[in-house]
Structure 1
Amino acid sequence: MNTCNNLKLTKLAASILLVTLGSAAQATEGGGGVYPNGNENYMAGALPPPGTYYLTYASHYQASTLRDNSGNRIPLDFDVQADALALRVVHVTEQKIFGGQLLFHAVAPLVNLKVRVGGSNDSSSGLADMVFGTGLGYHASDKLHYVWAVDVTAPTGSYDSNKMANLSRNYWNIEPVFALTYVQPSGFNADVKVMYDFNGINRATNYRSGQELHADYSAGWALGNGWTVGVGGFVYRQITDDQQNGATVANNKGRAYAIGPSIKYDSGKGWFLTAKFEKESGVVNRAEGSTFRIKALLPF
């Protein structure tokens, strides 16, 4: 492998964890994306009553395999690890618009990223790209709930096009969201959060990452004692080609799936905790790894 290709793959390996919570990355610029695929779990579409709520998302991601356009392993010795803690505040108002409860939220992700490629090492720690959003929450019944929302990701993290490890994508992103939850204290429970990403231009590289369609999901069985056990993961597909300097970047669209065990504990007193482990498969044009995640909600 020549020096130029090795440097390119090194930067790809390093950048797969630029995203807000250290999730696996897409085959956009450097293989990264703004949303941490698989981040959501049970209760993704169930809006709580009016008030202010604090959520925390903790994750550990690790990858040591890169896949090419045919899904074959790229022969590169590397390891990427990211430990992340995202603090999210959700404010549900009394105001209703089109029959839905108006909400606002913001996410501040803190990431510790470590990269090793051959004999090279790099690391970064600190604030990554922040997310701001608004939406409308609906309660179709006591079991069925859903949310329509729009999130905006701002390039607030540190970025240097010459570094292997960055905490920012260095572009703005707009992401329409639809989340649906079916929940009951005993029996079948299910959630899905569907997102579509419109990516801005990275002015430092004149690169625009392609549009992305992805969804987090969970399905489980509530045992009637606060516990729900099941599976969760995500599906991801890049829809449009990347562009650099106005020209199409061919054979670069990403694809991936993930699944693993998922659990939830609901206290019945206004707070709950979820946890899951997910492993990726069917990977094309991106890194392949696994993630352990914990999500907790506490009312103020």
Structure 2
Amino acid sequence: MKNAIHLLIGAGLIAATGAHASEGGGSVYPNGAENFVAGALPPPGIYGIAFVNHYEANRLNDAAGRQIGIPGFKVRATAITPRVIWVPGVQVLGGDLVAHMLAPLVEVEARIGGQSQKKSGLGDITMGLGVGHHHGPNLHSIVGLDVTLPTGSYKSGDLANLGRNYTALEPVLAVSYINSQGFNGDLRVGYLINQVNKATDYRSGQEFHLDYAAGWGVGSGWVLGLGGYYRKQTELDRQAGVNLPNSKTSGMAIGPSIKYDSGRGWFLTAKWQFEKNVKNGSQGNALWLRAVLPL
């Protein structure tokens, strides 16, 4: 899913602080978006997922994780993101083929010093193909490749932007262990290969990231636990072909997470995550809601 929430602030914000980090401090992936049942494909059919996300931050950190004292810094973003998943019932490499697409609808507001800006509209669209396997009644996995396209509006130097203005490729592995009366665990691991933002000749470094959830099934369709994310850039950013020192971004988040499975083909997840140890980016809190239902 497009990072509507993880600071779609433009490069102008980071430049104003004298720091660098995956251009604008954000990412094409909305870290923490996935939750329980991230790696389990449903039976053949068409399914809809609705993500609702609200993010707020009033702290910006430097390359050492220290807070940068910027008067009036604040970012607030809300996104509603529909996602369509198609499982056609086709076997590939011993698993089930799956295709998906998501298109975030975003409202983002950024303030720094005496400046502020607010925008709303379509963000960057993501689509992908994958293959899912059911290794038993409890263990499931999906391997795939996602592509994020620069469909959101972008203007170099703006405080708030709806898109990143570059394409990104992302190999993905998701694994789920599901148990209605016991341990539940989920990992969604991705590796972002970012392309160049031609408006700024800036290329954000490649990034490893994972979303996680761990909980316990307590019966009646409920799972209670924790969830969040971890991210770390593996390469320096580059601008005009030159590596930018101290430009790697990293961070993590953790918070309470729940799932409710109706037993009738639809389920809900919710998570409130708190960011920790962020370097070269904003640090705040996010609410994630997700509803999955057959169409």
Deviating 4+ runs (over 2 angstroms): 18-21, 23-27
Contiguous gaps of at least 5 residues in structure 2: 9-19
Q: Secondary structure at the match of 2:24?
A: helix
Match of 1:108 in 2: 103
Q: Secondary structure at the match of 2:5?
A: coil
Match of 1:89 in 2: 84
| TM-score normalised by the chain length of structure 1 | 0.92
**Aligned counterparts, 1:62-73, within 5 A:** 62-73=56-67
Establish whether residue 50 from structure 1 lines up as the match of residue 44 from structure 2.
Answer: yes
Deviations 1:234-272 (A, max 9, x none): 011000011100000110101101000000000000000
Q: Secondary structure at the match of 2:152?
A: coil
Identify which of 7, 30, 38 aligns with 2:24. 30
Percent identity between the two aligned chains: 48
Match of 1:4 in 2: none
Matched residue type, 1:29:
E
Contact kept in structure 2, 1:24 and 1:288, CA below 8 Å: no
Contact kept in structure 1, 2:2 and 2:148, CA below 8 Å: no
Q: Post-superposition shift, 1:24?
A: 5.2
Contact kept in structure 2, 1:19 and 1:169, CA below 8 Å: no
How far apart, in 1, do the equivalents of 2:118 and 2:6 lie? 16
Establish whether residue 216 from structure 1 lines up as the match of residue 211 from structure 2.
Answer: yes
Q: How many equivalent residue pairs?
A: 283
Contact kept in structure 2, 1:62 and 1:80, CA below 8 Å: yes
How far apart, in 1, do the equivalents of 2:46 and 2:182 lie? 29
Establish whether residue 286 from structure 1 lines up as the match of residue 269 from structure 2.
Answer: no
Contiguous gaps of at least 5 residues in structure 1: 1-17
- What is the CA RMSD across the aligned residues, in angstroms? 1.3
Contact kept in structure 1, 2:3 and 2:26, CA below 8 Å: no
Q: Secondary structure at the match of 2:88?
A: strand
Q: Post-superposition shift, 1:23?
A: 2.6
Contact kept in structure 1, 2:194 and 2:204, CA below 8 Å: yes
Establish whether residue 258 from structure 1 lines up as the match of residue 241 from structure 2.
Answer: no
Match of 1:132 in 2: 127
Match of 1:8 in 2: none
Q: Post-superposition shift, 1:283?
A: 1.1
Contact kept in structure 1, 2:7 and 2:77, CA below 8 Å: no
Q: Secondary structure at the match of 1:202?
A: coil
Q: Secondary structure at the match of 1:39?
A: coil
Match of 1:5 in 2: none
Q: Post-superposition shift, 1:61?
A: 0.1
Establish whether residue 276 from structure 1 lines up as the match of residue 279 from structure 2.
Answer: no
How far apart, in 2, do the equivalents of 1:27 and 1:289 lie? 17
How far apart, in 2, do the equivalents of 1:198 and 1:167 lie? 20
Q: Post-superposition shift, 1:27?
A: 2.8
Match of 2:13 in 1: none
Q: Secondary structure at the match of 1:273?
A: strand
Q: Which moved more, 1:59-68 or 1:25-34?
A: 25-34
Q: Secondary structure at the match of 1:295?
A: strand
How far apart, in 2, do the equivalents of 1:246 and 1:152 lie? 24
Contact kept in structure 2, 1:85 and 1:110, CA below 8 Å: yes
Matched residue type, 2:113:
G
How far apart, in 1, do the equivalents of 2:6 and 2:49 lie? 18
Deviations 1:202-242 (A, max 9, x none): 00011111000000000000011101000000011000011
Contact kept in structure 1, 2:228 and 2:253, CA below 8 Å: yes
Q: Which moved more, 1:21-30 or 1:61-70?
A: 21-30
How far apart, in 1, do the equivalents of 2:44 and 2:206 lie? 34
Match of 1:296 in 2: 291
How far apart, in 2, do the equivalents of 1:42 and 1:191 lie? 6
Q: Post-superposition shift, 1:121?
A: 1.2
Q: Secondary structure at the match of 2:104?
A: strand
Match of 1:245 in 2: 240
How far apart, in 2, do the equivalents of 1:254 and 1:163 lie? 21
Contact kept in structure 2, 1:153 and 1:173, CA below 8 Å: yes
Q: Secondary structure at the match of 2:163?
A: coil
